[in-house]
Amino acid sequence: MIMRFLRQSWTIAAKDLRSEWRTKEAVNASVSFAVVILLLFSFAFEPTSEQVREIAGGLLWLAFAFAGALILNRSFARELPNDCLDALLASPVSGAALYAGKALANLCLLLAVELLCMPVFGVFYNVPWTEQFWSLLLILVLGTWGLTVIGTMFSALTVNLRLRELMLPMLVYPMMIPGLVGAIQLTSHVIAGQPLAGDVLVWLRLLIGFDIIFTALALALVDYVLVG
């Protein structure tokens, strides 16, 4: 039962990643967009290294959240031409497995975007971000998972809507605030060169709890959205 669920999710995720690998449409657009936002931040304030380290988390996660909306918007919408979504729903894959596969693919794509943006950020703002690479990667994975879980769910929710491109970010960002606050705090902390221990662990717990709650909720409710 569990094995079948995982196998089906993996098939969906592999399909999405393969088609993205062949076109590279979403990732290209998303990375360019994130870089443009990072560039714009340099006009919003005078970037000295000290200051940037303090607000690095906020800058990065705002850029990631904006760039992520591009990928998440397309996640289900790309299945609309040729009625692919109906075909997927008619296939012997449960709605939850379809959702989990899509979320997994989005997680990989978003992480790729983030890892491509980090060196650019490091160079432009003169921030040594590789000092605690593994801690940073853990935060990126947890924060991005929160963004993808909610984003993929709302991508399914809004797939048939008018103004889909507008609705998704408007619904996702307020919902994401607890996860974003946690990820921003942790990222700033790690980039400032402090170890991931002590008081900040409360944010790690918040982030993990946030991820678990919304993953469970999404898996439980997604069948209502997709199948009816």
Partner 1 sequence: MRQRVLIGLAAIAAVLFAYNFHTIFLRLPDEASQGAIYRIMYFHVPAAWVAFAGFFVALVASVLFLVRKGLRYDRLAVSVTEVGLAFAAVNLITGMIWGRIIWGIWWTWDWRLTSMLVCWLLYAGYLMLRRAVDEPTQRAKVSAVFSIFAFADVPIVFFSIKWWRTQHPQPVVWGGGSMDPAMMSALFANVIPMLVLAIVLTALRMRQEEMRQEIETLRRLSYAA
Binding region for partner 1 (CB under 8 A): 150, 153-154, 157-158, 160-163, 167, 170-171, 174-175, 177-178, 181-182, 185, 199, 202-203, 206, 209-210, 213-214, 217, 221, 224-225, 228
Under a CB-based contact definition with an 8 Å cutoff, are residues 182 and 61 in contact?
Answer: no
Minimum CB distance to partner 1 smaller for 27 or for 96: 96
Shortest CB 186 distance to partner 1, Å: 12
Minimum CB distance to partner 1 smaller for 20 or for 211: 211
CA distances from 228 to 35, 46, 74, 110, 222 (A): 39, 52, 21, 29, 9
Shortest CB 134 distance to partner 1, Å: 24
Minimum CB distance to partner 1 smaller for 14 or for 177: 177
Shortest CB 139 distance to partner 1, Å: 15
Which residue has 């959205």 as its token pair?
225
Q: Is the dihedral angle over the CA atoms 30, 119, 110, 5 positive or is it negative?
A: positive
Shortest CB 53 distance to partner 1, Å: 17
Minimum CB distance to partner 1 smaller for 40 or for 202: 202
Report the C-alpha gap between 13 and 23 in whole angstroms: 16
Minimum CB distance to partner 1 smaller for 92 or for 174: 174
Minimum CB distance to partner 1 smaller for 91 or for 160: 160
In the Cβ-directed half-sphere of 203, how many Cα atoms lie within 13 Å? 22
Shortest CB 171 distance to partner 1, Å: 5
Return the HEC string of 1-60. CHHHHHHHHHHHHHHHHHHHHHHCHHHHHHHHHHHHHHHHHHHHCCCCHHHHHHHHHHHH
Shortest CB 162 distance to partner 1, Å: 5
Minimum CB distance to partner 1 smaller for 30 or for 158: 158
Q: Is 72 exposed, middle or buried (0-12, 13-18, 19+ CB in 10 A)?
A: buried
Shortest CB 10 distance to partner 1, Å: 25
Residue in 168, 148, 156, 64 with CA at minimum distance from that of residue 108: 148
Under a CB-based contact definition with an 8 Å cutoff, are residues 7 and 97 in contact?
Answer: no
- What length does the chain have? 228
